[in-house]
Amino acid sequence: MSTETLTIGKALNLGLRRAMEDDAKVVLMGEDIGRLGGVFRITDGLQKDFGEDRVVDTPLAEAGILGTAVGLAMRGYRPVCEIQFDGFVFPAYNQIVTQVAKIHARSRGRLAMPVVIRIPFGGGIGAVEHHSESPEAYFAHTPGLKVVAVSNPVDAYWGIQQAIAHPDPIVFLEPKRRYWDKAEVDTAATPDPLFASRVVRGGDDVTVLAYGPMVKTALQAAEAAAEEGRSLEVVDLRAISPLDLDPVFDSVRRTGRCVVVHEAPVTLGLGAEIATRVTEQCFHSLEAPVLRVGGYDTPYPPSKLEEEYLPDLDRVLDTVDRVMGF
């Protein structure tokens, strides 16, 4: 039987396992990913089965992890780097944006850079400083990088395999507070393209766009809105660089209204880019401005305050009320 119930975490584990079985050049690297299996146990059991040469416990040095990955990729390997928490990626930021993102162009196509950078991102787990951030806009703004944000076990299982097989570097964002969400996964299915948006709930009144951890929040808001007689269409963007916005434009031309939801601060977040593109392409169909829901323009707060910081069902519904009021 090819269908089983998996959490996002287990789906990632099985996806990594399958990628390593399919290609001996796939190498995992990261802090505590071997014997421990990673802080979220995403790589649990992989070092035991594939050995220390393919599942490498690295020093606590993110710049070193990514620098080593660059050299491995140049020699034909497919390194998959785990950044333990989102806020730990910044020591490696220089390597990612000046080396990983640019070597293919710098070499005029002679050198490929098939590096996957796994980053558990977002809040909601009661963690300390630098463990709950949403740095996706930094990477989506960098030409040469592709950015994927999964929201469910199906996309986790297939997406990590597709990212590893892809010839270009991919920042692969995993919503850490959703690691334990479950769904049926058909491991023999034909997956959707990696960089394609998907309508996950149909509706007629407002188009709600989300990715990663906010997809579940958007769906919960849609369920609550239905009880009040409003019909929200929810689109999971899935990839945020490149953006697949044709399904979004089709939706907005029908509904006439659009709300974009993400955890990252609103100012200069992905919502700004998406709102602009929707306005450019759907101007004559819009009945209201495109509105955004996001984190506040403050550093991520202590865990006791994070529920006040994170966008929730009520904030999404309040914004739906605003967009319906025009």
Cβ-based neighbour number of residue 7 at 10 Å: 17
Cβ contacts of residue 55 below 8 Å, gap of 6+? 27, 28, 33, 34, 43, 46, 47
CA dist 317 and 325 (Å) reads: 12
| Beta pairing, strands 170-175 & 291-295 | unpaired
Q: What is the b/e burial string over 121-144, where b = at least 16 CB atoms within 10 angstroms of the residue's CB?
A: bbbbeebeeebbbbbbbbbbebeb
DSSP letters, 21-87, are HH-TTEEEEETT-SSS--TT-TTTTHHHHH-TTTEEE--S-HHHHHHHHHHHHHTT-EEEEEPSSGG
CB 173 within 8 A of CB 117: no
CA dist 176 and 156 (Å) reads: 12
CA dist 66 and 93 (Å) reads: 9
- Tell me the two tokens of residue 315: 């904030």
Give the residue numbers marked as catalytic.
131
At residue 167, the 3 state secondary structure works out as coil
> Which one, of 193, 110, 103, lies nearest residue 142 by Cα?
103
CB 27 within 8 A of CB 72: yes
- φ and ψ at 88, to 5 degrees? -90, -5
- Tell me the two tokens of residue 66: 């990514």
